[in-house]
Every structure is written in C-alpha cells, then in structure tokens.
C-alpha cells in the first residue's frame, strides 16, 4: 500500500482541503449508517480482529518510501482480508485508525485525509463485497465453486472499487490543491492497478488460510514470511530509486552555475515536458526518460561557460560558438555511462536538432529527430522565452506560444507546439527572473528560437549531416560586443511576420506584466526587468500540491 511519505512539517490547512476532509467524514458516516448491524462484530471475533489490527499497524509503521512521494506497505491487503472476515464496519474503522497511528503528521489535516480515505475505501469495498454475494462464514470444507463465486469474485470486485476510490478521492484533493488531475490520473492508474491486483491475491490466500483451511489467527504467522520477502524486495527497490535520485542530483549540481540557474531551468522544462507527455498519453517509462533528459540536457554547458567566460580565461561570450556546438554530445556521452540514464542520452544529444535539418550536432531532419527530443526542444524554448535573463525580459505564455509558432516547421515540431498551446489554455505559468551574468551570455541565450536561427544561419556552408566545429565561424567583433547579426533586429526575427494573435484562453490566464513595456518581437538589448535578480514574479511553476497528500494509498 502506498501512503504519503514524510516531507517535513505538516502543511497548514486551507479552507478547501478542510472542507473536502469534512465531506469525506460525512460520506464515511453515511456509509456506516447504511451498513448498520450487518457489519456488527461479535464478541468472539474480537481476538482475530485484534490480530489483523496489529498486522495493519505494523505494516503502516514500517512502510518504505521509494520515491519521496509515496510509501509502500501491505495495509490494503490486510484491510481486504478484514472486510471479508469481519465485515465493512470493522475494515472501515481499522482503515481510519491505522492512518492516524502514523505520527508523521500528528493530528493534522493530512492525517485526517489519509485516515478517512482509507476508511472510506474499506467501507465501500466491504459494501461491494456484500452486494455481489460475498459471505463472511468461511468454514473448513467450503466447496471450491462456492469459494470462487462467494469469496474470490466478490473480493476482487471490492478490490477494484477500493482502487477506483483511491484514485477519485486523491484526485479531488489534487484538484483542490492546484495540481493536474489528468497527470495524476494517468500516473495513478498505471501504478495502482497492478499493485491492487497483487493485494487482492495476497488477501485471498490469507482468507483461505484463515477461514476455509481452518487455521484462524495463526495464519498471520504463515503469511508473515512471504510478506516479509515481498517487503524486502520493496525496500531494495526503494534503495535503488533513492540511489538514482542522488546520482541525478549530483550530476545536475556538478554542471550547475554558482547561482543554481540550471536546476531551476531544468525543473521548469521538466514541468512543460510532462504536460505535453500527459496529453500524448506517453507510457511511464517514456515519461521517466523525458524527466531525466529535461534535468540533464544542459549538462554539457559547463564547458561552454568556461570557454566563453573571460574571467576564467575564455575567449568571450559572444564569438565562441565552437564551444557551444558540442555541448549536447558532451552531455549525452556522460549520461550514456550511467545505466539507468542511458535511454536519455539520444534525447539529450538531439535536443538542438531542427526540423529543417540545420540543427546540431548531427543535422537530423524532421522525424529523424526522436519524439522525446522534439518535446524537449519545445519545452526548452518555451521556458527560455518566459524567463528574464539579464536585459532580455520574459514574455507571457501566450506570447511565448505565438513566438514558438513562428519557428514551427523550421526549428520546432509544429504538432508539439500546438499541443503545448492546448495544454496551456486556462493554465497559469509563472515568469522567472534569472540573475544577469555577462560571462554566461551564450549559456543564457542559446535556447531562444531566434538564436537557433542565428546559429543555423551563421554555420558556414556545409554538407548535410553532423556539424564540424572547425567549420563554424561567427561574425566577430573587436570590442567584445555581440556580433552584428546577434545585436540586430534580424537576429531576433524582426524580419519575420508578426506573431499571430495569442489564444485568448491562454492570454487571460497567465499574464504577469513586468515593469518595462516590450514590443511584440523582443530583442536581446531591451529594457531589463526592474525586479531583483533571482526573484520569482510569482511562484516557480503553476503546481502547488499540498505536501503529504501523497500519490495514492497502495
């Protein structure tokens, strides 16, 4: 069972979550009244019920946390066995008590939500079990056909109802706290259905030993060994996931600048990538690979910063594009050496390719570019446009999408751009202010769609295919200023047609007007944002899910 993992102090409840928890309490009470005396526990059944309660408490208190957002235990399997053996009321109460026994959040809104969700799931599962003909008296010698029709089938129907309620109840809290229902639904269904199927099998074996085989409460001893083995596997998996997270953090930190700009950019790019991936209904593995690629795609830019920062002996930030071209290759080669990141290597390598074949490093064209790399390129450009860097102001999501549409077909995949436009309708997106750093100019600007055009135009005539960095030359200057094409309006697309009118659904949702008006076509040398460098104009991203509500009770 997956329960919320500790993330620090309990969040301060707001009216929305509090009202939602109150509603869950009323629904739980209504279901308990509906069951009535049908769910009463007889006095002679109390010892067995106490054994199940002890198992549930041990399971909840020894849960493992593989991902930092959800934790695994077997409480759901025990609750399934309880609703078969002792009825829905016993299971419903046990679900509430078990969640409150976990002192991670104290007596808080989070504990109340978790307890009521588990109790509601158990009550509804127990009612389903009775409704489809399930029985509680499983005496020794029960006929196999009766076990199938009166125990197994009702049990798995109850299991299915509990799984669906887990998703629906948790989804309600996600929506209330500002999260994405669609993303949560896709991720939860993929993760919860196999787990709940396994819990149903464990519960059925438990029930057979307890009732049909006549072992009774001693069956808890027989089940302890296989449950301990499965838990050991979960713990090993959790250790591996945590190790992966540490490696990812170390790689990101090793490539980041002193002000942490790469980490912020990577998080924002990953958010956009996941919105697009959810719309495309990509599989869990593809979405994980996309996350790795988003977080590590600029891993090779550390070398660019060193080669262009005159304070470190570099040749200047504006003219050394030769240092820029290899950075996707550098990052992909580093990532390729790490087993769990290897699938992200070709995505990282191709994220600066262009649909017209004038990108780098391999000159791929159209669908030769991996789909995930095309998604990453759009997300990367979108975040660059919505981030203030030095004297170049950010633009809102609506204007950014209009800007991306100008590059669709030549630089970016037009289908991915339109998908981004769809997922951003009615969704807020914050603008970010990145500290100005003259030495990091090439780092800061290379992702802009117009800069991609400049780099493509300035690459010397070459045969189709991989870029030879020795053939790269940019118009140089002697005063250390940007080359002429990069300073001019042409460099930022002034010669292009004006962007089409932004979608009003997007335009009205996200505009965070910054001080200093900007023309529709922004240039590099525009008025700087008056905000303090490094400050966020809102929050860093639109998602603000209350910590502790987890990803599902598994």
Q: What is the pLDDT of residue 286?
A: 92
Q: What is the pLDDT of residue 70?
A: 46
Is the pLDDT confidence value at 179 over 60?
yes
With 0-12 / 13-18 / 19 or more C-beta atoms within 10 angstroms meaning exposed / middle / buried, residue 49 is buried
Task: Give the contacts of 306 (CB within 8 A, at least 6 positions apart).
Answer: 312, 314
Q: Are 300 and 281 in contact, with CB atoms under 8 Å apart?
A: no
Is the pLDDT confidence value at 128 over 90?
yes
| Mean pLDDT calculated for residue range 150-157 | 90
In 3-state terms, the chain is what percent helix, strand and coil (to 5)? 60, 5, 35
- Position 454 confidence tier, pLDDT thresholds 50, 70, 90: confident
| Mean pLDDT calculated for residue range 499-528 | 34
pTM exceeds 0.85: no
- Position 202 confidence tier, pLDDT thresholds 50, 70, 90: confident
Q: What is the pLDDT of residue 188?
A: 64
Task: Quote the CA–CA distance of 115 and 265 in Å, as a whole number.
Answer: 37
Four-CA torsion 461, 464, 468, 471, nearest 10 degrees: -10
Task: Give the contacts of 539 (CB within 8 A, at least 6 positions apart).
Answer: 430
Q: Which residues pair with 114 in a beta bridge?
A: none
- Position 293 confidence tier, pLDDT thresholds 50, 70, 90: very high
- Position 141 confidence tier, pLDDT thresholds 50, 70, 90: low
* Comparison of pLDDT for 76 and 435, the residue scoring more: 76
| Best CA proximity match to 309, nearest among 323, 325, 295 | 323
Q: Within the chain, which residue ranges are assigned CATH 1.10.1760.20?
A: 12-228
Residue for token pair 């003259």: 438
Query: Which stretch, 63-72, 133-142, 331-340, 467-476, has highest mean pLDDT?
Result: 331-340
Q: Are 119 and 28 in contact, with CB atoms under 8 Å apart?
A: yes
Q: Are 167 and 195 in contact, with CB atoms under 8 Å apart?
A: no
- The rounded percent of the chain whose pLDDT value lies above 70 is 65
The fold of 256-510 is: Hypothetical protein af1432 (1.10.3210)
Sign of CA dihedral 251, 255, 257, 261: negative
| Mean pLDDT calculated for residue range 229-258 | 74
Neighbour count for residue 25 (Cβ, 10 Å): 17
Neighbour count for residue 114 (Cβ, 10 Å): 28
pLDDT tens track for 56-97: 888 777 765 554 444 456 788 889 999 998 889 998 999 888
- Position 181 confidence tier, pLDDT thresholds 50, 70, 90: low
The mean-pLDDT minimum among 105-119, 382-396, 407-421, 492-506 falls in: 492-506
Sign of CA dihedral 114, 116, 122, 128: negative
User: Distances from the Cα of 483 to the Cαs of 148, 402, 477, 478, 486, in angstroms?
Assistant: 78, 27, 6, 9, 5
Q: Are 458 and 485 in contact, with CB atoms under 8 Å apart?
A: yes
pLDDT tens track for 484-513: 333 333 334 333 434 444 444 443 333 333
| Mean pLDDT calculated for residue range 419-446 | 72
Residue for token pair 């990145």: 434
- Position 325 confidence tier, pLDDT thresholds 50, 70, 90: confident
Q: What is the pLDDT of residue 513?
A: 31
CA-based Rg of the chain, rounded to a whole angstrom?
A: 28
pLDDT tens track for 215-226: 888 888 888 777
- Position 124 confidence tier, pLDDT thresholds 50, 70, 90: very high
Is the pLDDT confidence value at 313 over 50?
no
Q: How many alpha carbons fall within 13 Å on the CB side of residue 198?
A: 16
Q: What is the pLDDT of residue 259?
A: 55
Q: Are 509 and 427 in contact, with CB atoms under 8 Å apart?
A: yes
pLDDT tens track for 328-383: 888 888 888 888 889 999 999 999 999 999 888 888 999 999 999 999 999 999 99
Task: Report the chain's terminal Cα–Cα distance, integer Å.
Answer: 3
pLDDT tens track for 26-36: 999 999 888 87
Neighbour count for residue 130 (Cβ, 10 Å): 18
Q: What is the pLDDT of residue 30?
A: 92
Task: Quote the CA–CA distance of 398 and 403 in Å, as a whole number.
Answer: 9
Angle between helices 88-101 and 109-131 (to 10 degrees): 160
* Comparison of pLDDT for 502 and 232, the residue scoring more: 232
Is the pLDDT confidence value at 132 over 70?
yes
Q: In the chain, count of helices (H) and strands (E)?
A: 21, 4
The fold of 12-228 is: Arp2/3 complex 21 kDa subunit ARPC3 (1.10.1760)
User: Distances from the Cα of 542 to the Cαs of 107, 173, 237, 268, 337, in angstroms?
Assistant: 29, 16, 31, 10, 34
Average pLDDT, the chain: 72
* Comparison of pLDDT for 527 and 427, the residue scoring more: 427
Return the DSSP state at 472: B
Q: How many alpha carbons fall within 13 Å on the CB side of residue 101?
A: 19
Q: Which ranges of 446-517 would DSSP assign to H, the alpha helix?
A: 449-458, 484-487, 504-510
């Amino acid at each position: 069972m997956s329960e919320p993992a500790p993330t620090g102090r309990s969040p301060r409840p707001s009216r929305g979550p509090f009202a939602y928890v109150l509603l869950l309490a009323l629904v739980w009470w209504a279901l308990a009244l509906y069951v009535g005396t049908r769910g009463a526990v007889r006095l002679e059944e109390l010892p067995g019920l106490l054994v199940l309660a002890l198992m549930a408490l041990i399971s909840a208190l020894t849960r493992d946390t593989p991902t930092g957002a959800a934790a695994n235990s077997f409480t759901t399997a025990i609750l399934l066995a309880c609703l078969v053996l002792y009825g829905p009321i016993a299971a419903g109460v046990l679900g509430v008590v078990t969640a409150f026994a976990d002192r991670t959040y104290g007596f808080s809104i989070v504990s109340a939500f978790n307890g009521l969700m588990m109790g509601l799931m158990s009550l509804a599962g127990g009612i389903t079990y009775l409704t489809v003909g399930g029985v509680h008296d499983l005496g020794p010698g029960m006929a196999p056909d009766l076990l199938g029709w009166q125990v197994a089938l009702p049990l798995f129907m109850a299991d299915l109802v509990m799984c669906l309620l887990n998703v629906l109840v948790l989804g309600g809290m996600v929506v209330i706290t500002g999260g994405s229902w669609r993303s949560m639904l896709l991720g939860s269904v993929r993760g919860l259905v196999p787990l709940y199927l396994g819990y149903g099998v464990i519960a059925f074996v438990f029930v057979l030993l307890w009732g049909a085989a006549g072992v009774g409460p001693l069956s808890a001893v027989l089940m302890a060994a296989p449950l301990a083995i499965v838990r050991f596997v979960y713990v090993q998996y959790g250790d591996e996931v945590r190790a992966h997270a540490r490696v990812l953090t170390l790689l990101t930190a090793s490539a980041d600048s002193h002000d942490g700009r790469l980490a912020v950019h990577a998080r924002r790019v990953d958010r956009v990538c996941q919105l697009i991936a959810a719309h495309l209904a990509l599989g869990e593995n593809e979405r994980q690979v996309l996350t790795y690629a988003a977080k590590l795609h600029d891993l090779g830019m550390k070398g660019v910063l060193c080669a262009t920062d005159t304070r470190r002996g570099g040749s200047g930030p504006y003219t050394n594009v030769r240092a820029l071209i290899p950075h996707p290759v550098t990052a992909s080669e580093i990532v390729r050496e790490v087993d769990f990141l290897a699938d992200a290597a070709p995505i990282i390598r191709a994220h600066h390719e262009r649909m017209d074949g004038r990108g780098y490093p391999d000159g791929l064209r159209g669908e030769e570019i991996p789909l995930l790399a095309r998604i990453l390129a759009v997300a990367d450009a979108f975040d660059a446009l919505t981030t203030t860097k030095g004297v170049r102001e950010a633009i809102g999501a609506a204007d950014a999408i209009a800007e991306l549409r100008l590059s669709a077909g030549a630089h970016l995949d037009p289908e991915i751009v339109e998908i981004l436009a769809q997922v951003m309708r009615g969704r807020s997106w914050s603008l970010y202010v990145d500290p100005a750093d003259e030495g990091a100019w090439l780092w800061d600007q290379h992702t802009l769609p117009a800069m991609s055009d400049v780099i493509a135009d300035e690459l010397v005539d070459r045969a189709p295919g991989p870029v030879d960095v020795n053939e790269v030359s940019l118009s140089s200057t002697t005063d250390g200023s940007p080359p002429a094409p990069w300073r001019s309006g042409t460099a930022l697309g002034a010669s292009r047609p004006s962007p089409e009118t932004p979608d009003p659904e997007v335009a009205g949702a996200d505009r965070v007007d910054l001080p200093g008006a900007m023309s529709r076509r922004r240039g590099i040398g525009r008025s700087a944002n008056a905000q303090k460098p490094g400050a966020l104009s809102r929050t860093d991203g639109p998602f603000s899910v209350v910590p502790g509500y987890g990803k599902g009770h598994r």
